[in-house]
Amino acid sequence: LDGVVDVEARERQMGAPKLCWGPIYPQQNVTSAVLSAPPIISPLPTHSDVTSVVDGATISDCYASLLGLAEYFRTTSPPNMRLAVHCLKAVLHFKLPVNLEARTHLQLGRLLFHYSKSDDQTKYHLEKARTLGAHLRAKDDSIKFEAAALLAEFFERKGKRYEATCILNDAIRLSNNNPYWHCRLLLELAQAHVTERDVNSACEILQMGSEFAMMHNSDYTRGLFLLSKCMLLLASRQLPEVTTTLTVVSQMIDGFRGIGYHKEALRVFYLVLHVSFYLISGQAKSARPILRQLHQSIQQFAAMEE
């Protein structure tokens, strides 16, 4: 007890303790001091305040964190696409470089396209990605092409085939320096013509694709375009052109110098169409040796590794 008394007496002599949560005001001026003191809770910062104060490094960290959260919600089991979309929308509150802003709009548009019924938002984000992507350098040009492909499919689903075709034609015109997207967009445009039952236009597009692939020394891609064209010619019973196309493909496969797996894949595709040609033209007996070749080719193909 004597020790406690000594401590209390010492505290009375020293006055208020040094560790405190705020300024200590004299007793006689407590009211005026409280009224004149700054507020403890300040107003919430506005969006403009945040973007003006946050530096580039912090924006980069926030972007990576929100992107990681969006991916977590997208891939969790079961996936939570609503929260993934919220995370991506939060990213757009920061002033991002144009390529990241365009990519974020593309990611939003892709999620909304596949998992949402909000047509207006889907269209807005895809069009925004396409517009922003039009001014990016070559390393980011896939943004505008993927946005164009999704937007064309969006219009196709809505029955607006003219708009879809215009978007694909515009993207094809800009994609000559990107072989992957140029070929993919050509295939999608051909599919759009097939949907409209315009087989001749689809075959013209596929022929363009085969010529483009030949210019870039890609026999495998060229073969896929030619065999796809042959399939449409068979369906429309244009048998003389089928014969010509099959002859070209056969010669190309014999001289193929690429990956063995690709060569055998083309051979199987070719033999299937060749058998179909004989059956459609009423020459079932002529199809028998081709069927034996097809059986052997399928066995070889199944035993190969990609």
Helical axes 119-133 vs 142-157, angle rounded to 10°: 150
- From first to last of its 306 residues, the chain has per-residue pLDDT tens of 344 444 444 444 444 333 333 333 334 443 343 334 444 343 444 545 544 445 667 888 888 999 999 999 999 999 999 999 999 999 999 888 999 999 999 999 999 999 988 899 999 999 999 999 998 887 888 999 999 999 999 999 999 999 999 999 999 999 999 999 999 999 999 999 999 899 999 999 999 999 999 999 999 999 999 999 999 999 999 999 999 999 999 999 999 988 999 999 999 999 999 999 999 999 988 889 999 999 999 999 998 876
Domain co-membership, 105 together with 90: no
Instruction: Tell me what pLDDT residue 88 has.
Output: 94
Dist. CA 43–CA 40, nearest whole Å? 10
Instruction: Tell me what pLDDT residue 119 has.
Output: 92
DSSP characters for 23-78? Answer: PPPPGGGHHHHHHHSPPSSPPPPPHHHHHHH--HHHHHHHHHHHHHHHHHHHHSSS
Domain co-membership, 66 together with 79: yes
Instruction: Tell me what pLDDT residue 54 has.
Output: 57
Dist. CA 212–CA 175, nearest whole Å? 12
Within-domain flag for 31: no
Q: Which domain holds residue 62?
A: 56-96
Within-domain flag for 32: no
Domain co-membership, 244 together with 264: yes
Instruction: Tell me what pLDDT residue 55 has.
Output: 64
Q: What is the residue whose two structure tokens read 């001749």? A: 200
Within-domain flag for 211: no
Within-domain flag for 39: no
Domain co-membership, 73 together with 116: no
Task: Tell me whether residue 301 is exposed, middle or buried, using C-beta atoms within 10 angstroms of its C-beta: 0 to 12, 13 to 18, 19 or more.
Answer: middle
Answer whether 0.75 is exceeded by the pTM: yes
Domain co-membership, 242 together with 299: yes
Within-domain flag for 224: yes
Q: Are 133 and 147 within 8 A, CB to CB?
A: yes
How many domains are there within the chain?
Answer: 3
Give the residue from 263, 293, 262 showing the smallest Cα distance to 275. Answer: 293
Domain co-membership, 92 together with 168: no
End-to-end C-alpha distance for the chain, whole angstroms: 87
Domain co-membership, 75 together with 104: no
Domain co-membership, 152 together with 224: no
Within-domain flag for 258: yes
Instruction: Tell me what pLDDT residue 141 has.
Output: 86
The residue out of 43, 70, 96 marking a domain boundary is 96
Domain co-membership, 222 together with 291: yes
Q: Are 112 and 121 within 8 A, CB to CB?
A: yes
Domain co-membership, 225 together with 306: yes
Domain co-membership, 230 together with 306: yes
Rounded to a whole number of angstroms, the CA Rg of the chain reads: 34
The residue out of 65, 96, 127 marking a domain boundary is 96
Within-domain flag for 35: no
Domain co-membership, 229 together with 292: yes
Within-domain flag for 246: yes
